[in-house]
Amino acid sequence: MQDRRVGYDISFHAPKSVSILYALGKDDRVIEVFRQAVNETMIDLEIDMQTRIRVQGQDLDRDTGELLYAYFMHQTARPVAGKALDPHLHCHCFAFNVTYDGEEERFKAGQFHDIKMDMPYHQARFQKRLADKLSGLGYTIRRTRDAFEASLVPQKAIDFFSKRTNLIGQVAKEQGITDPQELDKLGAITRAPKSKNLTMAELRSVWKRELRQAGIDDNEREEKGTKDINLTPQKAVKYACDHLFTRASVKGDRQILSEATRYMVDNDQIDLEDLEKAYYKDQDLFRIQDGKRELVTTLPVQKEERDMVYFARRFKGEVRPMSEKGAKDLPDTLNP
């Protein structure tokens, strides 16, 4: 039927520097550790797989731990009109909308709600796994705002091979678009058809020639890492809490873990298991179970909220509003 959802495309993208490293280098281990990081993350997603329960008037979700997917590896980005493809190592994992319900002993549609909601968590874990595996191969890691880069790849090479990103940014600036959802739509609108004219060997020659013409040495090495040898899992959790609770009083456990994971992505001495142990042992966190999820706050944040509520109630109707519109409705004694 036309209104049936066949499945979901779950995509994993290597940082641009890693794509360049594989495309222009001779280290096939790069694509192998990329594949390993994808597979390990998909195992996480499979553990979270659920199905809906609708029999006998029930409206619940049940864990199944069963996921069926196929993955497709790609090494290039979509083209920008008139220019060669950029190197872009990524993987599309197409997860079929089906799972096996052991309780009912039958195949049913999957419930992907929680998986989609937790994708920032899974993506952060994917990036951490990939960074750690590259560190294990001897590559230095540089943490960035959203993920990481392989430090030996010059930033100017990363910028040069970001034609799609630059195009979207240019169009967004011209049209005054800043909303993330609108930017996603813009990415689809500006997407050019895939090109199959050149082989990877031919593209590699084109890429090296383009770099030379741009005055960029593809053999140049930067090797500027950001690893903090004094970082601990406890400090990563504290950073995540300090950062997240500045704008919200309650966060989910996986939101905190996502932020902490991104913060320690460049430190291969701390793994994901170390981080989770530190999080669950943290005595400063106040936790409330909400189904399978954990809602988290801290005692200082709780106090701030109580103080704010008290202040609002205590001085309601006794001080002049900041808004002139609101001030017109106050008694004269409060509106001099």
Say which CATH number the domain at 306 has: 1.10.10
Same domain, 109 and 238: no
Same domain, 150 and 25: yes
Tell me how far CA of residue 152 lies from CA of 18, 110, 160, 161, 298, in angstroms: 10, 42, 15, 15, 40
Residue 280 falls within a domain, yes or no?
A: yes
**Is 193's pLDDT higher than 50?**
no
Q: For residue 245, give its domain range.
A: 233-327
What is residue 170's predicted lDDT score, i.e. its pLDDT? 38
Same domain, 137 and 245: no
User: Which one of 213, 247, 279 terminates a domain?
Assistant: 213
Beta-sheet strands, E only, within 162-284: 251-252
Count: domains in the chain? 2
pLDDT digits (tens, 9 = 90+) for 280-319: 999 889 999 988 889 999 888 878 778 888 888 877 777 7
Same domain, 55 and 145: yes
List of residues 6+ apart from 301 with CB closer than 8 A: 245, 249
CA angle 224, 38, 164 (to 5 degrees): 65
Same domain, 265 and 127: no
**Is 172's pLDDT higher than 60?**
no
Residue 151 falls within a domain, yes or no?
A: yes
What is residue 57's predicted lDDT score, i.e. its pLDDT? 80
User: Which one of 183, 213, 243 terminates a domain?
Assistant: 213
What is residue 114's predicted lDDT score, i.e. its pLDDT? 93
pLDDT digits (tens, 9 = 90+) for 79-114: 665 567 889 999 999 999 999 999 999 999 999 999
- Residue whose C-alpha is closest to residue 89's, from 200, 246, 251: 200
Same domain, 207 and 239: no
Q: What's the CA gap between 159 and 177, in Å, rounded?
A: 21
What is residue 206's predicted lDDT score, i.e. its pLDDT? 86
The helix/strand/coil state of 60 is: strand
What is residue 309's predicted lDDT score, i.e. its pLDDT? 83
Query: Phi/psi of residue 282, each to 5°?
Result: -70, 115
Comparing 19 with 26, which gets the higher pLDDT?
19
135, 127 Cβ separation under 8 angstroms: no
Q: What's the CA gap between 269 and 284, in Å, rounded?
A: 24
Residue 169 falls within a domain, yes or no?
A: no
pLDDT digits (tens, 9 = 90+) for 217-268: 877 777 889 999 999 999 999 999 999 998 888 999 999 999 999 999 999 9
pLDDT level of residue 191 (50, 70, 90 thresholds): very low
**Is 195's pLDDT higher than 60?**
no
Residue 186 falls within a domain, yes or no?
A: no
Best mean pLDDT range from 154-163, 215-224, 323-332: 154-163
- The least confident of 137-141, 196-200, 202-206, 292-296 is 196-200
Helix (H) or strand (E) holding 117, with range, is helix 113-117
Residue 306 falls within a domain, yes or no?
A: yes
Average of pLDDT values for 14-38?
94
Residue 91 falls within a domain, yes or no?
A: yes
What is residue 204's predicted lDDT score, i.e. its pLDDT? 86
Q: Is 299 exposed, middle or buried (0-12, 13-18, 19+ CB in 10 A)?
A: exposed
Q: What's the CA gap between 84 and 78, in Å, rounded?
A: 9
- Residue whose C-alpha is closest to residue 14's, from 197, 214, 158: 158
Average pLDDT value over all residues in the chain? 84
Same domain, 204 and 280: no
What is residue 175's predicted lDDT score, i.e. its pLDDT? 44
pLDDT level of residue 173 (50, 70, 90 thresholds): very low
List of residues 6+ apart from 262 with CB closer than 8 A: 124, 127, 128, 143, 146, 147
Q: What's the CA gap between 36 and 241, in Å, rounded?
A: 30
